[in-house]
Structure 1
């Protein structure tokens, strides 16, 4: 990532807190001994679902005025009792909370929406079984998932993280609560930056974690310490604002996202730089300026920042040559098959695309009017909103409100920052 002096302000975007950070912090605070404060949390469907699932497990989460902070009172151990946590659409809840529950004592039945039930859970279930957990999964080794918890001893484990890093993060965060701690070999791993984020936050709460030369992670048993942590703006959500700046020739700064960020998705600005935008990243802010043209003719591996691949794919028709995005096979297993969803929507716009198991190639073209099928996927809606801003009157969304999953004020913020943005009002009916 390019680093320079602090960027000039330009238009200052208001990006909500990181979902990835908020939900990890909620889990770590719940596992800590004492009361922790999570400041500037993301308040969205996914984080509220996570918070309410913790409440169902008997944890106390108190809101400050206007949700400026959340206070979580932990006990230094896993939950106890009997509960039916509802995860809604939140994949992080379905993958972080079961290992935490398994370290406690009681009966926990995790369930979620039909969309979440369809998402894979097998690597997590296999790992929990290997650790001795007593559980009954639903059809296809997914939700609903019943855990009869009596604590976990820990030990050694190999985790398949080729589909999602969330399985590994969930097990790592529960590891200090296991009687003997945990040694995890990861094998194939996607989205390594998210695992690095997990490890950094665990250490912030006092965990002792070491990594061997062969990649094995060693987590010592010890209670987490309570902590007071501020949530960064969400880098994945910022990608849409940065992309909009790049394609409209404006300058936008996101305060709070800088060189010390824990979020790998900030590296999306480097991809925009490759596509011709001007990028400046300082210690406390990042700025993107559009230069009037979008360059193509390159191939980029976005496997480690796959939540932002759709942002690039949606604006790729505006480039002067094809763009190929690689390393995104695991994006087919998210809220939707995101590779197929992007390709189908681009073709509906008259844009030539080709895709394979782990790639998509987008060719230059003039989008024709189309109604984008969001598939209840917030990232599809936000990505194609940027294309609609660049080519006014072209894009409508069949489900504009699905952005509430992570960025409830998305349409309002786009309208505030960029003249002519009208997608929210044109599709709200």
Structure 2
């Protein structure tokens, strides 16, 4: 059945007050766990509690209320699923194209995306594979289990313990989706969506627990036999993990029992794909920014620390075999409204000094800019010499991701 608990709705970076009797002891434990992960802030207020959201959107079903955090700052609600699908390298579900941010919410959108892919699989026919079964049969079918026959039937031959392989739909690929559909059903607020989820879930086998389904997902290898399951598994992973690109609250086995998406992690994934596709036509490619190519700090107290940009691009140089490195950092900040912070300038200068030529140090910041594209260049210097150039690129998050990618190809230095 759809969730009927009263809702507390707020946008990212907004706050709301809750009465003391709206939160149970278990709710407080959940919210404090979310606070420890930087998703929100919970403080005491005169009438109870004050809840402030961070750069996290989604839903957390609590015992007495349902907490809904809507996208507000950078990506409008009607575009969120398009950008999420772009970051995950999957197709945009049909449900996302006709969604408005008012009644449904992020959880219903992801549930709709999973439902759409599962309905498609049902129309095409679920994948079946040979599954080994042990059963008691009146005739020999498959191979006789001699040990079981001798110890359990004591020489009687009217019933035979046999081992046989049957083609069944009760396989890992389908059990993952059956478990994810049940998880989506527990988060749904729309009666029609809940009914469809329930009907489709009945057609899939279940693995028992989300943990078992997640373990099966980690072991899944895609071949031509199950490649059509990849999109459905992508949405299932979000629901089962309860998060997004960074899978919030899965470390140490803790879960909030909801569906949350960290917007900075989403933005990093978006920028990673935008930059990769922008330089590919010119022979560029991403390279690792850790290990041998990482910037390290040694000799201080404690373990060695590292500086690692969100992305490091290898770009072809003027020579035949020459390549230059370009550090790119994704910043989920309002750099369309105020200047780049001193901390980020210091960070990008470190990247440019570590990766780019001494005579032309440069780095790139990519930030969301709702409603338009923007490009500006920061010249950082001292009385003795220039220290570096930082290109600041603003991506229009109101536009389709493909349009943003075309602009990125022309703007990336």
Query: Is TM > 0.5 for Structure 1 vs Structure 2?
Result: no
TM-score for the superposition, normalised by structure 2: 0.28
TM-score normalised to the size of structure 1? 0.28
> Which fold has the larger relative contact order, with Cα–Cα distance below 8 Å and residues 6 or more apart in sequence?
1
Larger Rg over CA atoms? 2
